Amino acid sequence: MRSNFLIKILIPALILCSLAACAPRTVIRILPPEIKLRVSKQEMEPGHVLRVNADSPDCQLTLIAQAWGQTTRLLPVSNEPTCYEGFLGVPLDTLPGPGTVTINAFSHQGQKIRTINIAIQVLPRQPFKTVRLSIRGFGKYDFATESARMAAVRKQAGTGAGPRLTPFIWPVKGRITEIFGVKRIYNQGMKSWFHGGIDIAVLGGTPIIVPADGCVVLAEPFTAHGNSVLIDHGYGVITTYLHLRKLLVRNGEMVKRGGIIGEVGTTGSSTGNHLHFQINVNGIKVDPYDFLESLKKTP
């Protein structure tokens, strides 16, 4: 009985075990997904914006880009499941020289799978002019309180994803009467700051067009900045429109590219009908002209 058991069960088991030990081992190696990165520029001036795109068959990646003191996530572009997009602004006080954009890729389990560095050369900034302005009743305006309110709204917004943002449509078409970055000195030095947007002179009442889909995060009649609108486009990008004659949107309203948010005016501290148009990327003010013109080409 006992020898029968040895023959029937133990011996075949021993043979199988020894065969398994001799068989070549099959190792299944899971390779990290391929990630292709593209940037809109490799040389840029302070105040300019960089678009970073990543393509990967894995649509559950977390891609974190870091440069110039910003940490931003490349977000999936809706309806393009293999494409991620993000933006980085070069602050105006960045010194010229070689820079690096670092992208860390994490799997959906949170495991770091790759680090990719991209070299970007920051070029010397063209010197900006100083402009002296005189505005009647300038002392009565409380710029600081209004600016702090807008900064707080920008800080809370700007992290969502959506359809592809660029190219932006110009909100109005007209003569640029003041470029980005100019140092402005008001009323014999009562106040001075750099111009954080561009001024476009057009007739009062001209409709202001939404440059890309987004959500209105502020629509208020301010005293110094005039009737103001802020739109959160996601991807860390927020646009600002000041001195409107008429507000045609409300806070919390979703707006579509090509829609109308208001009319050009000269409300608040302003010397004539114009649109002050500003773009913040991860809180950094960037040149709207560069944003609209250098990102015209779809990546």
Residue 51 or 285: the one with the smaller Cβ distance to Zn ion is 285
Q: Where does this chain touch Zn ion (CB under 5 A) — which range of 8-16, 24-32, 53-61, 272-280?
A: 272-280
* Closest-CA residue to 235 (of 69, 110, 103, 65): 65
Helix, strand, coil share of the chain (percent; to 5): 15, 40, 45
| Structure token digits, residue 193 | 């700051």
Residue with tokens 């939404």: 210
Q: How far is the CB of 196 from Zn ion (least distance, A)?
A: 8
**CB-based contact 269:224 (threshold 8 Å):** yes
- Smaller CB distance to Zn ion: residue 199 or 213? 199
Per CB under 5 A, 287 contacts Zn ion: no
Q: Which one of 55-63, 72-80, 203-211, 270-278 is the stretch in contact with Zn ion (CB under 5 A)?
A: 270-278
CB 78, min distance to Zn ion, A: 32
The residue from 48, 225, 276, 285 that contacts Zn ion (CB under 5 A) is 276
The binder of Zn ion chosen from 45, 146, 199, 232 (CB under 5 A)? 199
Could you give the strand order of the β-sheet that contains 207-209, starting from the edge strand earlier in sequence? 207-209, 260-263, 246-247
Are 280 and 238 within 8 A, CB to CB?
yes
> Closest CB to Zn ion among 51 and 276?
276
- What is the nearest approach in angstroms of Zn ion to the Cβ of residue 276? 3
Residue 276 or 285: which CB sits closer to Zn ion?
A: 276
From the centroid of its chain, how far is CA 196? 16
What's the CA gap between 148 and 230, in Å, rounded? 14
CA 105 – CA 74 distance, rounded (Å): 10
**What CA–CA distance (Å, rounded) separates 262 from 246?**
5
Query: Would you state the structure tokens that stand for residue 91, as one six-digit string?
Result: 């602050």
Q: Which is nearer to Zn ion, 199 or 290 (CB)?
A: 199
The stretch among 61-69, 146-154, 198-206, 210-218 that binds Zn ion (CB under 5 A) is: 198-206
Q: How far is the CB of 178 from Zn ion (least distance, A)?
A: 6
Residue, CB closest to Zn ion = 276
Dist. CA 170–CA 243, nearest whole Å: 17
Q: Smallest gap, in angstroms, from Cβ of residue 199 to Zn ion?
A: 4
Least CB distance to Zn ion at residue 166 (A)? 23
Integer CA distances (angstroms), 83 to 36, 75, 106, 168, 179, in order: 10, 8, 15, 19, 33
Q: How many residues bind Zn ion (CB under 5 A)?
A: 2
Q: Where on the chain is the footprint of Zn ion (CB under 5 A)?
A: 199, 276
